[in-house]
Structures are given as structure tokens and as C-alpha cells.
Chains A and B, each alone.
Chain A
Amino acid sequence: MRIWMTGLAILLFVGGALFFALGPQRTTSITLTFHAKMGDHPLVFDEFVYENPGGRGTFRVRDFRLYLSNLTLSQDGALFAEPDSYHLLRFDNPETTNSIRLNDIPLGSIENVRFMIGVDPEANGSIQPRGDLDPNSQMAWNWEVGYKFVVMEGTLRIGEEVSPLVYHVGFSDNAREVDIQLPPDIAVEGDVDLHMNVDVAKLFDGPTQVDLRKLSSVKFNRDDAAMLADNYAVMITPSFK
């Protein structure tokens, strides 16, 4: 009798251990890599190689950066929200990419990725540094306005004439949600490698097409800023292999 009991206990223990070891993954890691593009090609800085989408002339990009915030991952209604989730995406590196890595998220897999282009109103109205938010950085306007969400600066050249391009889009109303559904087979051994394109061209050639000569700067005009926000709302798209 006693031998039976002991045997059963051992069997249960080994079986249970096997069940948990071979069972579904308890955590998942994810790398989100953002590739700065102009149309289909990697973004090139500081060269007059781009056509004015809405008019005459060519332009160059000196600076392009944006805030991505409130990154949330979910599976079957289970949700993981990254704490202090404020990322400044800048692309002034040879690969013109920027990566965010989250390790050991308590989700068995990831079906959905959501984030915001811009900053939520609460953080946007605060001078508390958190994540990549820094009130002494280039992305801060001042504490009455908050942060610039998307910045693009450059130069437009028409013939011999050059003129500055300054697009600083902020204001809490102009944060835009991005929601990405992942294909079911994207995780490899508990690791998700998600690539996304950030197409700068969409900023001027989205729902509204912009002539850079006529609208060479956007800063505090609310209508202009909202128009560019609707354009950049569709700027980030996944590229599944």
C-alpha cells in the first residue's frame, strides 16, 4: 500500500513538472524595430533628394523624430501596459532605425500591439521627467503647451532659392492611436520580432496632400497641426515577413 502511494506521488510530481515545463510559454519578449522610410526607401538625411509632394521643388530632411507612448500589448483580453512608456524615436544613426525591447512580459503570446504617436494629456501637461520625456530637451516647447509630438525640419529648394521647413506638431488633441494586429505565428520560442515602417512621406502625403512651398511651417496653428496629425496617424505600419 505504502509503496503504491509513494509511486503515485512520484508519478504525479514528475508528470506535473513535465506538464509545466512543456506546457505553453508563460512569458513573451518583444522587440519593436522602427525603420524610418521615405516611401519605400530608407530615409536619407541632409540631401536634396525628395520631391515636394504637393508642388514644385526638392527638399532635404535635417531632423525627424517623434514621441511614441503608452505602449500596450495584449492577448485574449489580457493586457500588459509598459510603465512610464514614453519613447523618443530618433533616426540619426546609420541604419535609420530605432528599437524598443521589452523582456519577459507576462503574456503567453502577443496578439495585439497598441501605442500612441504623441503624449497623453496628463504627461503632456507635466514637467516631471519620465521615460524619455525631458522638459529640458529639444522636444519641449514650454510647460504651457507641452511637448512636440512629431518634429520634421529641413530645407526646400526651388531653383536657386532655398527656404526653411519647420514642422513641429504638438497639442494633446493631436496624439493619435496606432493599433496593430499580429499574425498568429509571429512568436518564435517566446520571442516576437516586430518590424514597423515609419514613412515620413505620409506626413505630407496622407489624407491631405501638402505643398511644402505654401505650408512651409506648422507650429501653433491648431488647424494645420490637426491636419498633419491626421496625416501622421497612418505613418506607422507593420511589415510582416
Chain B
Amino acid sequence: MLRVFLTAAVAVVIAATAWVFWDRARGPTATPIAGFSAPFVFGRFAVPPDNPLTQEAFALGRHLFYDPSLSGNNQVSCATCHMQALAFTDGLAKSPALSGGELEFSSMSLINLLWGQERFFWDGRATSLEAQALMPIQHPDEMDQDLDALITELQASRDYRRMFRKAYGEVSAENVARALSTFMRMLISSDSKYDRFLRGEVRLTAQEEHGRKLFMAHPDTKVSLRGGNCIDCHSQFLTSGFRDALDGFSNNGLDSDDDLPDGLMAVTGNPAHKGFFKVPTLRNIAVTAPYMHDGRFETLEEVMDHYNDGIVVSDTLSPLILEADNAPEAGQGTVGLRMTPDEVQSIIAFLNTLTDEGFLTNTQFSNPFEGDG
């Protein structure tokens, strides 16, 4: 009897040991993310074939996103400038630079990145999320981390070795970028009041509905159509910049030719792109103040004032902005939409329907090193 028991025990031990070795030696066991859905009106999206969405990659990316050891001084994580409660912005005009002073641009929100313009950063210098992900990590004023040093650090961690093995196989800078991209791609906001309105579940208030109509209309005094002209740059459902080519970039009249920054021209070399910046999504815009690439406007009222009568003319200013005017007579010294205060407030009311509380508090997107993560 004892002999049988011992034999069985030895067999179990051998099997367990073999399984442990086999589990370490075999390739990644990633599970495709199947259970996510996005609104039909968001349209098509593409995931790079060499970086499929998997649960293991998402879990790894989430850990990396919140881990300050990704920075040279081990104090700055991606989440330092991209905080969930602020729709992954940081509430500052410009984040502080490591070497003192502040960074060149305002921190961008991270929402619905599977759709819309496929270039990233305000000036579009990254052509994929995978390319984008490693840039702030290495930037001397952002996270100032050497990639080889980072990989050595991650390899020293048993948890990371396990997570990388399951998601991709090896610990590498390429796989860091892939995992962070997967996490960012899954930051989907699709349950705002506007989404529920589109699904036919709720009604907008009269003021919100008025704002929605203004948002979607380019003004035409010839047929007495009033409009806020937002849709000329912000697509109607995504509210982001357009996907095709460089359609998602524009000069929205912030500066004169004398002090117009290069923007997209720095990337394309085309003078017609001077002062062009990425049109951001307006999803959760109420919580992502301050606004514009340099955070110059503190409130949505200030933003609307800019479009209403504060447009600064420059050579590359969008003709759609220069032309859009709700007043039939020629303007006296100012350029802008010239809407009534009621109309401005209606557009702001509509913009507030784009806030998605579920997104801002979704525990799947929160810091996994804290609480129940």
C-alpha cells in the first residue's frame, strides 16, 4: 500500500516539476481579448498584425504604465502625466521638465486611440502607438530612461519576467512598446451621455440638443444656418481628428505668422503645415483642462471665446475657420464665429455630455499596484 502511495507521490512531483519547466520553456500563452465591443458609429479600426490585443499584453502594459521604474530616476511613470481621473491628462498647461522649467507641449488625453488620426503627439511625430510609447521614456526631460538599462531592470524582476513570458516571450524594449500600446488601445470611452443618446437610451436636454446641432453645422448665412463649425475638424461621433492621411491636423488660429510654432511642419517639412497641430478628441473634454497644445486656455468658456471672436489670422489658418461666421455683415476687426452667448453655452452643454464617468473610474484602467488591482 505504502509503495503504491509513494509511487503516486513521486509521479505527481515529477509531473509538477515537468509542468513548471515546460511552462517556462514554452512560448507565450496569450489569450485574445474577445469580450470588448465598441460602438458601431466609431467605425473601423486596425490593430497591427504583430501586436494582437491580448489579456496578458494588457495586464503587462497596465503594470508598465503605472510603474515609476520605467524612468531613469524611478520616480516618474506614464501615469504621472496621464491620470485616469483627468482622462489621462495631468491638469497642467505643461508638465514640469526633469531639467527644470516645463515641457514643450501639454499632456494629451488617452482615449479611443484605436480610432481617428494614426499619428501621435501634438505635432504628429510618431506614426504608430508602438513608436510613440518609447519616446517619453527616453526623452531626457520626461522619463530619461536608457532602454538597455530598463530591460536589465525589468529582467531582474520575477513578476515582469513571468508577465513578459506569458504575453510575448522575452523581455525587450519592443515588447515594452507593444504592451503599453495594447493598454492604451483598450482605453475606450463609449458610455458618455452622448453615446447613450446615440444608442437611443436617453434624450439630451433642449440646450444640449441645440449645442449638438451647432457642433455639427458649418454656418451658412446664405441659408440662415447657424453653426459652431466644430465638425469641420472634430468628427461627428468620435469627436477626434480625422483618420485619413494628415486630415487630423489643423491650424486653428492661435498665433500670428510672426510667432507661429512649426507644429506638423517640423515633421513633414511642408511649409503648408506650419502651425498645424493634432486635433484632439473631445471625449471627456470637460475634465482635461487646460486646453490647446500649450494649455493656454483654462476653461471651455475661454476656448469658445477664442473660436467666437479671438481667431488670429495667419497664412496657414484653416479657410474653414476663417470663413465660418454666423453674422451676415462683415466683421469689425475680429475674426470668429460670432455666435450668441446662448449658443456658446449650448455648445458647452453638449461638450459636457461627452464626459464618461465609467471610463474615468473604470478599475481595469487604474493603478494595479494599489488597492485590489
* A84: min CB distance to chain B, Å: 13
Docked-complex contact B238 and A166, CB < 8 angstroms: no
- The residue that A217 contacts in the complex, of B225, B232, B242, B323, with Cβ under 8 A, is B323
**A135 close to B272 (CB less than 8 A):** no
Given known contacts A142-B231, A221-B222, A62 and B319 CB-to-CB distance under 8 angstroms: yes
Chain B residues with Cβ under 8 A from A88's Cβ?
244
**In-complex Cβ contact of A164 among B220, B238, B319 (8 A):** B319
Interface residue count on the A side (C-beta < 8 Å): 32
How many chain B residues sit at the interface, stated as a range, is 20 to 34
Chain A residues with Cβ below 8 Å from B244 are: 88, 90, 134, 137-138
With the chains together, A153 CA to B247 CA distance in Å?
Answer: 13
Contact yes or no, A136 B238, CB < 8 A = yes
A143 to B320: give the CA distance in the assembly, Å: 20
Q: Within 8 Å CB of A219, what residues of B? A: 218, 220, 222, 225
> Is A92 an interface position by the 8 A CB rule?
yes
Is A127's CB under 8 angstroms from B41's CB? yes
Is A45 among interface residues, defined by CB-CB distance under 8 A? yes
Known A-B contacts A46-B272, A136-B236, A164-B322; the reply to A221 vs B220 at CB < 8 A is yes
**Is A141 touching B231 in the complex (CB atoms < 8 A)?**
yes
Q: In whole angstroms, how far apart are the Cα atoms of A48 and B323 in the complex?
A: 18
Interface status of B66 (Cβ within 8 A of chain A): no
Are B243 and A62 in touch, CB under 8 angstroms?
no
Q: Chain B, 207-246, contact with A by CB distance < 8 Å: what is the 0/1 string?
A: 0000000001110101101000001100111101011110
Docked complex Cα distance between A154 and B222 (Å): 20
Q: Does B371 contact A (CB under 8 A)?
A: no
A96 at the interface (CB under 8 A from B): no
Closest B residue by C-beta to A155: B319
Q: How far is the CB of A216 from chain B (nearest CB, A)?
A: 7
The distance from the CB of A124 to the nearest CB of chain B, in whole angstroms, is 15
In Å, the complex CA distance between A141 and B43 comes to 16
- What's the Cα separation between A153 and B116 when bound, in Å? 22
User: Shortest CB–CB separation between residue B65 and chain A, in angstroms?
Assistant: 27
Q: Is B42 an interface residue (CB 8 A)?
A: yes
Question: What CA separation (Å) do A33 and B216 show in the bound complex?
Answer: 34
The smallest C-beta distance from B330 to any residue of chain A, in angstroms, reads 10
User: Is the CB of B350 closer than 8 A to any CB of chain A?
Assistant: no
Closest chain B CB from A49 CB (angstroms): 14
Interface flags for A204-231 (1: CB within 8 Å of B; 0: not) read: 0000000000001101111010000000
Chain A positions within 8 Å of B223 at CB level: 220-222
Within 8 Å of chain B (Cβ to Cβ): is A165? yes
* Residues on the A chain within 8 Å of B44, using CB: 129, 134
- Which positions in B face A, CB cutoff 8 Å? 41-44, 115-116, 216-218, 220, 222-223, 225, 231-232, 235-238, 240, 242-245, 247, 271-272, 319-320, 322-323
12 contacts between A and B (CB under 8 A): A45-B272, A62-B272, A90-B244, A134-B243, A137-B247, A138-B244, A141-B216, A142-B217, A154-B319, A163-B322, A166-B323, A220-B220
